Structure 1
Amino acid sequence: MKLLITLIGLILVLEGLPYAASPESMQRWLRQILDMDPKQLRRVGLTAMAIGFVLCYLAQKSGLFE
């Protein structure tokens, strides 16, 4: 449970960082997202998830990050 709470905290820090560092750029970026095709957004999301799963797998199963 401690690891889960730590991971959620880390995600919130990483998600909030661009908004705190450069809010004007984030507003422009979010406007561009509104203009994107939903299918393209879905592909980007699925790609990000796949990369995340691969990184989690590598971290847990291989000695790559030890």
Structure 2
Amino acid sequence: MKEYSVTPNKNAEGWYVKIEDVAPTDLYSKKDDAIAEAEKLASNDTPSRLMILDENHEIVEEKKY
């Protein structure tokens, strides 16, 4: 099962979409845009899990596809 995550950058000025907690794929200025892209990637790669993290890098939402 692949794991995807949406996490803020160091200053919480942008949001990264990461695959398997490795190098980020892209930086998004809006959290909603990053979540939408991560949902698309995760749903196209089932089975997978998407974790959305807050500024403290704590999981606030988790979805499975």
- TM-score greater than 0.5 by the shorter chain: no
Q: Which has the larger radius of gyration?
A: 1
Give the number of the structure with larger relative contact order, counting CA–CA contacts within 8 Å between residues 6 or more apart: 2
TM-score range, shorter chain: under 0.3
Higher strand share: 2
